[in-house]
Structure 1
Amino acid sequence: MTQTPKKLRVVHLIPYDGIGGVEIAAHSLPTGWHENLLFERQYLVREASVTPQTGEYHGPSTPLNDPRAYWHALWRLVRNPPDLLVASLWRSALVLICFKILRPNKKTVIFLHLAHDVHLIDKLANSIAMRLCDAIWADSTMTLTQRVPQVLRGKGRTISFLLTSRPLPTPRAPRANFVFWGRLNAQKGLDRSLKLFAAIARRLPEVRFTIIGPDGGMGKALRAQVKKMNLESRVVFSGPMLHDDISQAAAQASFYLQTSHDEGMAMAVVEAMQAGLVPVVTPVGEIARYCRDGENAVLVRSDETTVDTVLALLEDSDRYKRISSAAAKYWQSKPLYRDDFLVAAKELMGGQTNAA
């Protein structure tokens, strides 16, 4: 008697559909059948600006902190339980905890996306979820080692956050253009980025900086900082953009500037490197593992040294091209998120088969 794989349903639970790294990565894995796995996405709340895709379910149009969204998600999952529930971020972890208690025979995964706890609820929710779940996935080795207790490391697995494979970009001479994309929140350290940019602008008047992304709480302060520094003609706040529009903006720049205080994988940095931009970044989180100072990146430690290094690269086209090329080449042979996710899911569910 032969054995054929059992058809299994996998649901990835995410708080809401946005343009952050978690949401963009989730979208890179198409919903639908992948051999014997049926993959779906479920969101706790519905965003008014988002049109649900096939294979997605968006919860009620309530604020994220409204308990009804959590009870609704739990009710839907318990009523029609998936074979594997993957939960990203602490709000989803709260639902996972209740789901695992009510459906203990179903497989669950807590997916960690940041190398530290954001606040007490985040710490408690993920701590309980890590102990209850069947596996712990992380967006980077740094996240796994810093957030998962040693006793639980046996459940741990790192999932690649490389979203797409791209051809190597054509080498080009550097331009005095900088770009950033992501949420405008305190974590990204954009106040320091603007100080670095201002120091460069004092020595290079034609320099420009495009900041792309939604306001994450720092938008007003950053605009005030730009005005105080008299940089309004050189710094552009573009707001949120579609991914293709971001790619077009990146094509006009030579440097990706991000001085984060902490990070997990930092997907925007990865995407910038794939596009051939030289990242000017702080060595935090997983960035410190894949960005090598002077080889494929400029690591920000001393502001003064960083400014001198960037200006030197703008004057030395050959050196800039070498670093740009090394940044793009670094990711050429790395696995993709969608492939890693599916492999991990299939291995976790591997014991479940049907007799044919």
Structure 2
Amino acid sequence: MAKRRCYWFVRLSSSAAFDRGNIRRTAAIDLLEDARMLFGVLPVNKPTGVTSRKAVNAVVRAICDRKVKVGHTGTLDPLASGVLLVVIGRATRLVDESHLNSKRYSGSFLLGKRSDTLDVDGDVADVPSSHPVSHRDLKEAARQFVGTITQSPPRYSAIHIDGQRAHDLARRGKEFEMPTRTVAVHQLDVVSASDGEFRLDVECGTGTYIRTLGCDIAVACGTSAVMSSLCRYEVGGISLEECVRLDQIQSLDDVTNGLLSPLRLVPHLEQVSVSPETIEHIIHGRSFELCSVASKVAVVDQRGELVALAERVLGGANSTNEQPDAQPYRSISVFRSNNDMPHETKINRPQSAES
């Protein structure tokens, strides 16, 4: 009897282990399905001393699925902190469109200094000055840098030169020319200036280097400057208060709890709600009609979730008499397919009404 009892004990234990294995496998499958349904933007408060790539890698580890695409909408240097928008899943296809959003920065600069990187992370040296620079001098100089301006980006930057990062070439001592670029500075204010330091508050477009901006203002005043700190506190209406701290992103739940609607990446686009029948047209690549005159729109379903980006067909004629004001459109990026579940977007945080 003892052997028989032992036999049944082994059988029961094996069955329980098998059940536990099934539960683990089922949970793992559910976890993968949840991860692959992610579609949105995770605003991260990047700390100083961390590269943007490392911040993205932390999100990838939390998701635990290498097949889920993850990226960001704009690099923050290691010295800088603040809003880093991490795009997940199909939202990675909205990066180019998100570059139309303005960004807000607060940066501090040390007058009478220079460095090869234009910030305190480089080799900093003193620059003799023939006269003191006042707050008024800096504000007067800053006026010429508002609007559409031409900048020369720092040699130590993430810009690609012949397929290589400029900062990599600079560290290897390579000689190369930095191309100038045209950028937009919407607002620029010298908030304070005292004891050889000044602080800027900037609203600008994508591609603007705040390091260069502060240095150019100092040069216009007859001296030089290096950036000592930088915080990006808003991107396209997404503020620092909405961000998740990087050290709080440890699991898939942390990601989904902080995820915002992908529509937050395109606040400049008009949102047009369409019927399920129109969504079928969009999925199958057919043109459709909308009651809008905008050149580009964000098409949403009746739940307000993003279906596609669409552009107006110029010169197209209205094919129906039911909606005489309707205009023909065609999709340029579709985020929905026939295989999607009815409610594909995992969003635990409500979409802000602010743009």
Q: TM-score range by the shorter chain?
A: under 0.3
Which protein is richer in helix relative to its size?
1
Which of the pair has the greater relative contact order for Cα pairs under 8 Å at 6+ separation? 2
TM-score (norm 1): 0.24
Greater C-alpha radius of gyration = 2
TM-score by length of 2: 0.24
Greater strand fraction, Structure 1 or Structure 2: 2
